[in-house]
Structure 1
Amino acid sequence: MNGHCDPRFAALGDLLAERLRDGAEAGASVCVIADGRVAVDLRGGSAAPGRPWTRDTLVTTYSLTKTMVALVALALVDRGQLDPDAPVARYWPEFGAAGKDGVLVRHVLGHTSGVCGWDSPVTLEDICDVGRAAALLAAQEPWFPPGEGSGYQAVSHGHLVGEIVRRVTGRSLGMVLRSEFAEPLGADYWLGAPEDVDTRVATLVPPESSGVDYAALDPIAVRTLTNPVIPPSVTTTRPFLAAELGGLNGQGNARSVARLQSVVSHGGAIDGRRFLAESTVERIFAVQADGVDRVLGAPVRFGLGYAVDGRTCWWSGFGGAVVVNDLDRRLTFAYVMNRMAPGLLNAPNTTAYLTALRSCLD
């Protein structure tokens, strides 16, 4: 393990070291940014057989990527280019088809649109053609009444928000994220990564079987989570890395994730530069749904682009990656790894790091 850790957060560093030693982690990185300062930036273990996890190692962050998509959407809201209370069809007219004329932008950002996935069978190759895949979503009916509870847009989220962004700006999600946030903040995070990134991407260690009985799940969950199936083995391939699947295929490390998301925990301004108005950041906490999600099968309180709890907003990725923004403490915590846990929420390692973080803060 290498990097640095303020004594205040020693318990977090000790836990990472322990889990790297005992094999609970293959490779991982954690970062804490508190009141504008990097208090923890640690990484270690193996990025791939024979290749150590270094300061510049990247890894697929799965659904944590959705928090970066939220930054892009919030930037457009901030400039008055996007109204969360407006129909999606105002910006993307084709989306108003098949009974979706009443779907609002905030329904999409809060996972209450009813467009959790695709009606027709799709492959990974199909969804990497983001324009065509978005057109399929625009043509279909919602799977439940929009605005009536949440149905997690596991893969489709990035296609939905991405097409809205493209219609508003003429640019892709990845382009806006890069120019408006990643480059100004010096954050090594990519959505649509160039070829020179490929050798730095860690190989994921697939999780053990979750033991989930799909026959017992809500049919909406099955349709969402199995069409298409995206195995971890594809996450180091060039087509996957080049695609801009805003729901799941950003590439980063804990330092770059925390750097970008600290825009939120610090009220919209970093290093004297304002990225979002404080009032725009506050819109994150407008609750869109609060109850058992149809896809996740667990209670989630969704705000605008994030799950919310008090003055904290967060989201996680398949396998365990997580980012948490605590606005009251002006603190962002990020954790990414390559040894994946089964399930979409509450991975054991993730829970342990968050518990250690809370002990440091208390």
Structure 2
Amino acid sequence: MPVSDIQQQVQQTVDRLVASDAERGVQVAVYHRGDLVVDVTSGVADPATGREVTPATVFYNYSIGKAATATIVHVLVERGLFGYDTPVAELWPEFAAHGKEGVTVRHVLNHTAGVPGLPGDTTVADVCDWDRVCAVVADEKPWWEPGTATGYHAYTFGYVLGEVARRATGKPVSQLLAEEVAVPLGVGGELYFGVPTAEQGRLAVLEDAPGSADMLAQLPDDLPMFKAGPKSLFPTAELGNRPDMLAADVPAGAKTSARAIARMYAALLGELPDVQLLTPEQLGEATAVSFAGPDQVFGNEATWGLGYALGLPERPGTVDSVFGMAGAGGSYAFGDKANGIAFALTKNRLTMDFAAFDEITSIVYGALAPGQRAA
């Protein structure tokens, strides 16, 4: 497929997904070697009012934002404020409790720190209270010897790295996101951790896919993933539409447009002429395999760089090239070093699969890397 046709084909695909009621509102943005070759929207951001999705619409797509948190850390490491092997407790002494003095920044980035959980009685109000959550995590006993196993740190990833960054700079993580990433990239109004109340009316309204709430309710309460956080904190539309969650700095996720997070990956790849977030050498270190093994929380096989998941789902040949993060509900954003692709898909219907992502990435690779199709 000629590159000139990719915008039209992606547009037709997302229009079909929305028309079939598989999706409600969708954004797709793709950079190729620094050029924005796809900037597509379809559907509605708010079904109650009929407000349409635009390229500037901000979506709360949960864990795709972990990549923004990791990127802040890499920028601060490159600046020399701390290193990957700096113990967290060197900057945050309280974190050393219960034998965690050896946990390093690297351990947190590759989810081997051993503190993946929040107590079962943790409330939404708790996770919106930065100091309260940090105190709980600092006092947590490690589930395993740090560095010896991996387990997805769904919430704690963001708080630990955000507190390390705050201790090193004196600035909250939301300010660092704006100053170090969003504003330099020209996306200051489209990439947030906490969204000011006055701006929340611009966000897409999330909805659960039919049947997903019932499926969640039927899951046993003793599953390992619920030991890492109660069901009330599981990423649902109800949780993601709460004004307090939208306003809070919860850097295990972010609120972003597709074009904003795709632009971040394009900058990480070094493909933008006006801004470079990392040197090629540091990007290589950040996206090399740092730890691989069975996830102690979810049971899947996991391969981590430093803050980024490596490879595309079910496509093992992409581990050396692709780094990114999925988000609950089927969103996804990544960079592909081999092909110069920066990709993002954001959407407001939270599905239990990545069907839209799979279909659209097949189109993108068919146009931009026909010898290396993603599917």
- Aligned pairs for 1:297-308 within 5 A: 297-308=299-310
2:257 alignment partner in structure 1? 253
Whether 1:319 and 2:360 are equivalent positions in the alignment is no
The Cα of 1:96 is off from its aligned counterpart by: 0.9
What SS class does the counterpart of residue 116 from structure 2 fall into?
Answer: coil
Spell out, residue by residue over 1:223-280, the C-alpha distance to the aligned partner (whole angstroms, 9 max, x if none). Answer: 11426425422433332121110012x21111111112212222xx632333222211
Q: How many residue pairs were aligned?
A: 351
Whether 1:347 and 2:354 are equivalent positions in the alignment is yes
Residues 217 and 10 of structure 1, relative CA distance in 2, 3 Å threshold: farther
2:348 alignment partner in structure 1? 338
1:237 alignment partner in structure 2? 242
The Cα of 1:295 is off from its aligned counterpart by: 2.1
1:204 alignment partner in structure 2? 206
Whether the 8 Å contact between 2:268 and 2:277 is mirrored in structure 1 is: no
User: What code does the residue aligned with 2:113 have?
Assistant: S
- Distance (whole Å) between structure 2 residues aligned to residue 222 and residue 98 of structure 1: 22
2:44 alignment partner in structure 1? 46
User: What code does the residue aligned with 1:24 have?
Assistant: A
Spell out, residue by residue over 1:292-338, the C-alpha distance to the aligned partner (whole angstroms, 9 max, x if none). Answer: 21223211201100011112101110001100101122210100000
- Distance (whole Å) between structure 2 residues aligned to residue 352 and residue 224 of structure 1: 32
1:310 alignment partner in structure 2? 320
- Distance (whole Å) between structure 2 residues aligned to residue 122 and residue 288 of structure 1: 30
- Aligned pairs for 1:97-246 within 5 A: 97-119=97-119, 121-187=121-187, 188-207=190-209, 208-209=211-212, 211=215, 214-215=219-220, 219=224, 221-226=225-230, 228-230=232-234, 231-246=236-251
TM-score, L = length of structure 2:
0.88
User: Greater CA deviation, 76-85 or 191-200?
Assistant: 191-200
Spell out, residue by residue over 1:31-75, the C-alpha distance to the aligned partner (whole angstroms, 9 max, x if none). Answer: 001111100000010111122112321110200010100110000
User: Greater CA deviation, 235-244 or 55-64?
Assistant: 235-244
1:19 alignment partner in structure 2? 17
Residues 216 and 203 of structure 1, relative CA distance in 2, 3 Å threshold: closer
- Distance (whole Å) between structure 1 residues aligned to residue 4 and residue 197 of structure 2: 35
- Distance (whole Å) between structure 2 residues aligned to residue 8 and residue 261 of structure 1: 19
2:94 alignment partner in structure 1? 94
The answer for unaligned runs of 5 or more in structure 1 is none
What SS class does the counterpart of residue 295 from structure 1 fall into?
Answer: coil
The Cα of 1:9 is off from its aligned counterpart by: 5.1
What SS class does the counterpart of residue 74 from structure 2 fall into?
Answer: helix
Residues 97 and 29 of structure 1, relative CA distance in 2, 3 Å threshold: same
2:313 alignment partner in structure 1? none
What SS class does the counterpart of residue 228 from structure 2 fall into?
Answer: helix
Spell out, residue by residue over 1:135-180, the C-alpha distance to the aligned partner (whole angstroms, 9 max, x if none). Answer: 1111121112211221101111111111111111111111001011
Whether the 8 Å contact between 2:7 and 2:39 is mirrored in structure 1 is: no
Whether the 8 Å contact between 1:147 and 1:288 is mirrored in structure 2 is: no
The answer for unaligned runs of 5 or more in structure 2 is 311-318, 371-375
- Distance (whole Å) between structure 2 residues aligned to residue 192 and residue 172 of structure 1: 11
- Distance (whole Å) between structure 2 residues aligned to residue 293 and residue 352 of structure 1: 27
1:78 alignment partner in structure 2? 78
- Distance (whole Å) between structure 2 residues aligned to residue 300 and residue 9 of structure 1: 32
- Distance (whole Å) between structure 1 residues aligned to residue 359 and residue 304 of structure 2: 23
- Distance (whole Å) between structure 2 residues aligned to residue 359 and residue 11 of structure 1: 11
Whether the 8 Å contact between 1:214 and 1:222 is mirrored in structure 2 is: no
What SS class does the counterpart of residue 6 from structure 1 fall into?
Answer: helix
User: Greater CA deviation, 7-16 or 351-360?
Assistant: 7-16
- Distance (whole Å) between structure 1 residues aligned to residue 159 and residue 114 of structure 2: 14
The Cα of 1:216 is off from its aligned counterpart by: 9.2
What SS class does the counterpart of residue 44 from structure 2 fall into?
Answer: strand
Residues 352 and 78 of structure 1, relative CA distance in 2, 3 Å threshold: same
- Distance (whole Å) between structure 2 residues aligned to residue 185 and residue 241 of structure 1: 22
Q: Alignment RMSD, CA only? A: 2.0
TM-score, L = length of structure 1:
0.91
Whether the 8 Å contact between 1:174 and 1:191 is mirrored in structure 2 is: yes
